[in-house]
Amino acid sequence: MTERLSAQIEFLKRADRLKSVDRANALLDQSRPENAAEHSWQLAMWALVMEPLAGAEVCIDRVIRMLLLHDLVEIIVGDHPIHLKTDWQAVEQAERSAAAELFGMLPPDQAAEFLTLWQEFEADQTPDAKFAKYLDRCQPMFQVLCAPAPNPDHLTVVQDNLDGGRAAYLETEFPEAFTLARTLLQGCEPAETAFSARIPFLAETDQLKSVYRASLLLNGERFENSAEHSWHVMLFAWVLSEYATPDVSTDRALKMLLLHDIVEIDAGDHPIHGQVDHAAQEAEEQAAAERLFGLLPEDQKTAYLSLWQEFEAGDTPDARFAKAIDRFQTPIGNLETGGGSWVDFDVTFAQIERRVGIPIQRGAPFLWSWLRPQLSAYFTAEADT
């Protein structure tokens, strides 16, 4: 079992590199390019929010999983903007090879599961893959169209995409999305539809990409942001789901982790090892949850607020597992980066056992039994220097 977990962790550490793959799109505020990891997180959010518009034959849980892994191959092959002249056949071959290499890092059963799901998305034939592709076509366009001051070149790309490019088929396949994109591109006032009613919330979530945490990327080049953290911790929960107790629904835990840090758009990030007024923090985050989920239709506001509160309370099996994984991811990174935030906050092993060990022990005890000796060895070595 230890060998299996070690292979899974190596895959998850390799996945960290997706946070350094920049895309052609920019954030809504035009401050920097979007990266492929935060794009994947936002697409998962699109899938959750647009579920009422999917057909009855679509399983949104499978769509979310597809979108979590769909761009992992870009760790090896990079991003290929659709508006540039490209040998797409060569790209497809390179991506198939990259998928085999990356998913091959996992134990054989998981390697087959991930590769098959990735291939299903690429083939674009099943209802789940088709809906995932619709969203992958939509999100970049609306990221341009919802920007306060969009880049004119990006607007041209959207225009070309609708006029005969990859998004043209949405006119018949996903007409509400196509019509809204056209309307916004023309500068007209859009009609209220089930699709347009959800766009303000989705546009607001872009701000999570600008909330930075105390944890470094594994390559040490910068601090991680909360959107890419949310994507990565969802991948952790999926890959490590076998270490949950039998009563845990992995898909519910994934949805909790998809939403868990959304309140940081208003309330900011509060490192667990920092000095925090917990009562004030809880009040700020509750107000943030009310405002942000309040941008959605009432039924979704109620459902997501309830799910977020369940995660915060940490009393159900699903929430305990999600909390455990949220605590588990950061120490993996800190061990890779020479201590990371532990050094910055002068953290002791006793604090780690209390703030990290207890939540992991509650939700995924085997993971703590695997991690604890490594943490003990790190802090012992630090004490000896």
pLDDT of residue 345: 83
Give the Cα separation of 48 and 201 in Å (integer). Answer: 12
Q: DSSP state, 190?
A: P
- At 328-381, the pLDDT tens digits run 999 999 999 988 888 888 888 888 999 999 999 999 999 999 999 999 998 888
SS3 category, 34 = strand
Rounded alpha-carbon distances, angstroms, from residue 106 to 5, 158, 359: 9, 37, 26
CB 216 within 8 A of CB 337: yes
State both tokens at 107.
Answer: 């134990």
pLDDT of residue 98: 96
pLDDT of residue 275: 66
Pairing relationship of beta strands 223-225 and 212-216 according to DSSP bridges: antiparallel
CB 340 within 8 A of CB 334: yes
Kindly indicate the confidence band of residue 274, based on its pLDDT and cuts at 50, 70 and 90.
Answer: low
**CATH class name, domain 244-384:** mainly alpha
Q: DSSP state, 124?
A: T
pLDDT of residue 4: 96
Domain ranges of the chain: 2-205, 244-384
Other CB atoms within 10 A of residue 57 CB:
10
Is the fold of 2-205 the same as that of 244-384? yes
State both tokens at 222.
Answer: 């910068």
Kindly indicate the confidence band of residue 382, based on its pLDDT and cuts at 50, 70 and 90.
Answer: confident
The position carrying tokens 């999570």 is 208
CB 73 within 8 A of CB 14: no
pLDDT of residue 277: 67
Give the Cα separation of 72 and 82 in Å (integer). Answer: 17
Is a pLDDT exceeding 90 seen at residue 148?
yes
- At 232-255, the pLDDT tens digits run 999 999 999 999 999 999 999 999
Is a pLDDT exceeding 80 seen at residue 278?
no
State both tokens at 148.
Answer: 């306060």
Architecture in CATH of 2-205: Orthogonal Bundle (1.10)
Is a pLDDT exceeding 80 seen at residue 84?
no
What pTM does this model have? 0.96
Looking at this protein, which amino acid is placed at residue 170? L
pLDDT of residue 383: 73
pLDDT of residue 325: 98
Residue 108 CB partners (closer than 8 Å, separation 6+): none
